[in-house]
Amino acid sequence: PQPQQQQQQQQQQPVQQPVAAPAQRAGPTPPGPPIDPNSPKFADLNVNALTKKGIAEVLQYTHLTPVQAATLPPILEGRDVLAKAKTGTGKTLAFLIPTVEAMLRSRRGKPGDIRALVVSPTRELAYQIAREGERLVTFHKMKVGCMVGGVNINKDNAILNKGELDILVATPGRLNDHLQNTRGFAQRLGGISFLILDEGDQLLDQGFRSAIEAILKHLPAQRQSLCFSATVPPSLKQVLSIALQRNYAMCDCVGQQADTHDEGMVPQSVGFTEMGDQMAGTFCLLAEEMRADPAHKIIIFTPTARQTQFVAEALGAAGIRALEIHSRKSQAHRTRTSDQFRAAKCAVMVSSDVSARGVDYPDVTLVVQIGAPSSREQYVHRLGRTGRAGKTGRGVLLLCPFERYYMHTVRDLPLDDLSSQLAAKLAANPQYSHDMQNAIRQVSFETKAMTYQAWLGYYNSSMRALKWSKPQLVEMANQHAAVVLGLPSPPPLQAKTVGKMGLKGTPGLVIE
């Protein structure tokens, strides 16, 4: 097979935005939604003149989006609001503008109090919100801080030690880390007068419910609270019953369209392959999709950032140009790659879960998930990238035999078993395996070593479900290194890494 010959050149289209925003030190702001010139103007809003100046001169927006027009009035009135709104509709400003206005109209509490808290499900989204906030308050004497996991906590402490912090944007895990370990942090949250839960459904998809409930216990009852979410599942309503006031306003900015995606209606299948055949199986699926649909748009999800890197590099060496997006890439790279895939007429992208959250890509024809997802919600969320708004699409889940336990998690979904069909195709077309093995040989040892460590860490967290012992985990990881990564021996690991995984003394590991 020659998939590279089948893949059309990606066609770039300019992404529409209100007014071209100038480049800024913290990185590019994602393009805004299309603007109706007949919509209300920011200049006519009853907000502070310096806020308007920031919108006009720094953000360079002139007209409100429909989401902003619908949600700003009740929020500016001081009501709690649940806004049903999709990503990319201008919702960030919809909650930041009234947050700033509320702080301007109220007195600061105790010295050092944090006045507004924005909770985001991902590091990437948190950075975007904080960046937008910094630009909005350019002409105000306000400070915006961002605290997320994966960053040295000393950087957070430096922000806290500077004194006043008006708006804090943070991920739930890092917030709880500070609540448990940072002296005085809980007391500083006692000054919160404004709470925003952004991408509420995604917060719950990632298992943050208990973290959010713990955070809410540290916030004062007298506050204004907002939640923006593309969908409103029952689990979110339960959390909102304690986060919002009973008489909260509901702003539905998407209507029934947001809920028209039914995972049960998207054609789904699962293929069980031996570990050493999984990459060839992936290659086979892509090659056939690319031949069958010249306008193909394919997303491949993997469990970790390093596996994403490995799959993208291997596919590239096999002749499939694959975009790569995950948390190890810079914010600028992720934004650029996301925009490129969104605008392309045909493309292949390999993604980890962290960077795929809250992103809507049009016309995705195939979603491939390699390895057992972390939860049913994760599987459904990934699948939801295809078959949207009446468009066709399908999903394929590729598992190894040891991951069969996961099928109980999605037992209510209509997954057809294509294991025999996929095995027959690989047997009839040995070139798939041959080409993939040659491609994997071209992937650097560094990438393979990091992938080995990531695989070990991911399945280490699933040992109970897998019913593995620590020696069995290491044995399977070493098998993965041999038959998937093509390594003659397991890569060495740092002793402190092994210790953090709780695998100290486990036979089969190579320690540096």
Supply the CATH number for residue 76's domain: 3.40.50.300
d(CA 246, CA 204): 21
Angle, nearest 10°, between helix axes 419-428 and 431-441?
80
- Which of 252, 277, 306 finishes a domain? 252
d(CA 168, CA 239): 21
Q: Are residues 54 and 100 in the same domain?
A: yes
Do the domain assignments include residue 423? yes
Do the domain assignments include residue 17? no
User: Which single residue is written with the structure tokens 């097979």?
Assistant: 1
Do the domain assignments include residue 98? yes
- Which of 193, 223, 252 finishes a domain? 252
- Which of 423, 442, 461 finishes a domain? 442
Q: Are residues 303 and 239 in the same domain?
A: no
Angle, nearest 10°, between helix axes 123-136 and 91-105?
50
Give the containing element (helix H, strand E) for 131. helix 123-136
Q: Are residues 300 and 151 in the same domain?
A: no
Per-residue pLDDT in tens (0 to 9) along the chain, 512 residues = 454 444 444 333 333 333 222 223 333 444 455 556 678 999 999 999 999 999 999 999 999 988 999 999 999 999 999 998 876 678 899 999 999 998 998 877 777 889 999 999 887 788 889 999 999 999 998 999 999 887 788 889 999 988 789 999 999 999 999 999 999 999 999 889 999 999 888 787 667 888 888 899 999 999 999 999 888 888 888 888 889 988 899 998 876 444 434 555 689 999 999 999 999 999 999 999 999 999 999 999 999 999 999 999 999 999 999 999 988 887 678 778 888 998 899 999 999 985 455 556 788 999 999 999 988 878 887 887 786 555 678 999 999 999 999 999 999 899 999 999 999 999 999 999 999 999 999 999 999 999 999 999 999 999 999 999 999 999 999 999 999 999 999 999 999 999 999 999 999 999 99
**Residue 280 in contact with residue 318, Cβ under 8 Å?**
no
Q: Are residues 427 and 490 in the same domain?
A: no
Do the domain assignments include residue 35? no
Do the domain assignments include residue 32? no
Q: Are residues 131 and 55 in the same domain?
A: yes
What's the total number of domains in the chain? 3
Quickly count: other Cβ atoms within 10 Å of residue 444's Cβ.
11
H helix and E strand count, the chain: 22, 14
d(CA 489, CA 475): 12
Q: Are residues 61 and 139 in the same domain?
A: yes
Do the domain assignments include residue 424? yes
Q: What are phi and psi of 419, to 5 degrees?
A: -55, -50
Do the domain assignments include residue 25? no
Do the domain assignments include residue 187? yes
Q: Checking phi first, is residue 134 left (phi over 0); if not, alpha (psi -120 to 50) or beta?
A: alpha
Name the CA radius of gyration of the chain, rounded. Answer: 24
Instruction: Identify the pLDDT of residue 234.
Output: 81
35-71 pLDDT tens trace: 566 789 999 999 999 999 999 999 999 999 889 999 9
Instruction: Identify the pLDDT of residue 210.
Output: 85
For residue 229, what are the β-bridge partners?
84
Instruction: Identify the pLDDT of residue 8.
Output: 41
* Structure-token pair, residue 424: 């027959």
Q: Are residues 302 and 246 in the same domain?
A: no
Strand order in the sheet with 366-370: 322-325, 347-351, 297-301, 366-370, 394-399, 268-272, 415-417
- Entry pTM: 0.62
d(CA 103, CA 117): 12
Q: Are residues 230 and 95 in the same domain?
A: yes
Contacts of 364 (CB under 8 A, 6+ apart): 297, 298, 299, 385, 386, 388, 393
In terms of residue numbers, what domain contains 133? 42-252
Q: Are residues 332 and 420 in the same domain?
A: yes
SS3 55: helix
Closest CA to 293 of 196, 189, 365: 365
Instruction: Identify the pLDDT of residue 36.
Output: 64
Q: Are residues 71 and 146 in the same domain?
A: yes
* Structure-token pair, residue 32: 């805004």
Q: Are residues 392 and 485 in the same domain?
A: no
Q: Are residues 48 and 176 in the same domain?
A: yes
